Amino acid sequence: MTTMRKGGGGRRRSRLLVAGASVAGLLVLAACGGGSGSGSNEEKAESKGVQVGATKDAYIAAFADVDPVQLTAQSINAPEHYYSQGLQAYADALKEWSGGKITVNLQFAAAVAPPAEADAALADGRLDIAAFFPSYATQKYPVYNGLNTIGFGMDDPLAGLLAWDLSLNDSLAAIPELQEEMKKQGIHLLLPSNLSDVTAMGCTSDRSSPAKAKGGIARTAGVLENAYIEAIGMSPASMPFTEVFEALQRGTVDCTLTALAQAKASGYLDIAKFWAVGKDRPAVMHPLAFSEARWKSLPLVAQQLLWDRLDVLYEAQLRSVLAATSDALKGLGAAGGTVSSFSEDAVAAFQPVKQQAYDAFKASGVVADTDGAIKLVQDNRDKWLGIASGAGLSGVEFEQFAGWYAEHNDVDLAPVVEQVRANILAPLRPGA
């Protein structure tokens, strides 16, 4: 039996995502290496770094003799998209804290590699950093996609979102098989679960009950979501999110499981006006990763800064996601759309899906300690719900969120970000 472990020092972080094969099986940051992937920095990869909690001045001093590190970051979205804003904040922080030694050239709209090729681009050197989608390649990532079937509970746009995402990030580092799987593909995980926004089902007509859903077709992003919509009588369809607008417009699909903010950014709130939400729903994760070969070539202090300033990335993305969700809800209202809860009989139909997913995960054997993995995710979800509640970020449902955000758009996220540093970043900090 494999022992669940938390890494220290240079161990890679790992997290869960969902996909599989049947229920059983289930951005792009690209950093092309200009100038600093070899040579003197490669020789310095084992050099001394800085202490946990190092100040900006300490970091700048430590970079004094480091050659410039040039990275290219790619978002699959436009510059104004909330993911792009998070990457921009991260790039700015890296430059500032390195005294200008780390520079990031941001490319947008998947200019370097399409989402389905981002992992290959990491492995072959076209990219250094990328958000990619293991659900597009279930055969390559059986561990990640299997783990992606046990993440439930993205129930609301605040505490539920935080607990779902952070419990996965807090758990996945303890899954050695995931670390090994990614390393085999030439990938070094930064955030195994790159912050998403809350997934709901948006449709061209009301499909919130089994009677109304029966016979419809919904675009899904993974096998678990397939089982979810099949439970209420719908058929799943797989396609890149870039094709969803046209599919909804032409009636090829009736619904899509996606985030309201992503729907607004993609322009189809005027088509998909009927949104249904419910408790204990699944959602599909995707990671933010670094090229393993490139990571190894960087001096320790560069690795540490890239790691430490993930706190800036996370806070910037979270703020952007909250703002985008509020804007999407207001935009939906302006378009004459609605958000409602799934009917009671729909909720009842969903209940067996969760247990079936757990049973299939246990039978899959993608990790040695399947029971331990499930318990770890569940326990960490409870922990992060408590952290969110303690920070005053709980009790806000979809219907209330736009009004809540109008009064709390400057909400203090420092308590949550500090817990991210302590629970997620610090234990796996390079050289720690």
Domain assignments of the chain as residue spans, ordered by start = 56-428
CB count, 10 Å around CB of 45? 14
pLDDT tier, 309 (very low <50, low <70, confident <90, very high otherwise) = very high
Averaged pLDDT, 207-230: 93
**More confidently predicted of 45 and 48:** 48
Cα 264 from chain centroid?
A: 19
What is the chain's percent helix, strand, coil content, to nearest 5? 50, 10, 40
Averaged pLDDT, 357-363: 94
Q: How far apart are CA 96 and CA 113, in angstroms?
A: 27
Lowest mean pLDDT among 12-21, 118-127, 213-222, 256-265: 12-21
Q: How far apart are CA 188 and CA 417, in angstroms?
A: 22
Contacts of 113 (CB under 8 A, 6+ apart): 28, 30, 74, 120, 121, 126, 127, 130
Query: Residue 120 above 60 pLDDT?
Result: yes
Residue type, 325: T
Q: How far apart are CA 326 and CA 214, in angstroms?
A: 31
DSSP string, 148-210: TTS-B---STTHHHHHHHHHHHHHHTT-HHHHHHHHHTTEEEEESS-----EEEEESS---SH
The candidate with the shortest Cα–Cα distance to 250, out of 276, 268, 230, is 268
DSSP string, 331-392: HHHHTT-EEEEPPHHHHHHHHHHHHHHHHHHHHH-SSS-HHHHHHHHHHHHHHHHHHHHHTT
Averaged pLDDT, 232-252: 93
Q: In this structure, are residues 364 and 26 in contact, taking their beta carbons and an 8 Å threshold?
A: no
Per-residue pLDDT of 147-185, as tens digits, reads 988 988 777 888 988 998 999 899 987 899 998 999 999
The candidate with the shortest Cα–Cα distance to 25, out of 377, 365, 392, 389, is 365
Tokens of 285: 């994760």
Fold of the CATH domain 56-428? D-Maltodextrin-Binding Protein; domain 2 (3.40.190)
pLDDT tier, 75 (very low <50, low <70, confident <90, very high otherwise) = confident
Query: Residue 44 above 60 pLDDT?
Result: no
Q: In this structure, are residues 277 and 200 in contact, taking their beta carbons and an 8 Å threshold?
A: yes
**More confidently predicted of 20 and 416:** 416
What's the pLDDT at 242? 81
Query: Residue 5 above 80 pLDDT?
Result: no
pLDDT tier, 255 (very low <50, low <70, confident <90, very high otherwise) = very high
Q: With b meaning 16 or more CB within 10 Å and e meaning fewer, what string describes 280-305?
A: ebbbbbbbbbbbbbbbebbbbbbbbb
What's the pLDDT at 143? 94
Residue with token string 């202090």: 301
What's the pLDDT at 47? 61
Averaged pLDDT, 221-232: 89
DSSP string, 276-289: EE-TT-B-----EE
Q: In this structure, are residues 427 and 308 in contact, taking their beta carbons and an 8 Å threshold?
A: no
pLDDT tier, 208 (very low <50, low <70, confident <90, very high otherwise) = very high
Q: How far apart are CA 298 and CA 38, in angstroms?
A: 8
Q: Considering the chain, what percentage of its residues have pLDDT values greater than 90?
A: 64
Q: How far apart are CA 9 and CA 36, in angstroms?
A: 23
What's the pLDDT at 371? 96
Supply the Cα-derived Rg of the chain in whole angstroms: 21
Residue 291, strand partner residues: 187
Q: How far apart are CA 175 and CA 367, in angstroms?
A: 8
Query: Residue 6 above 80 pLDDT?
Result: no
Residue 131, strand partner residues: 288
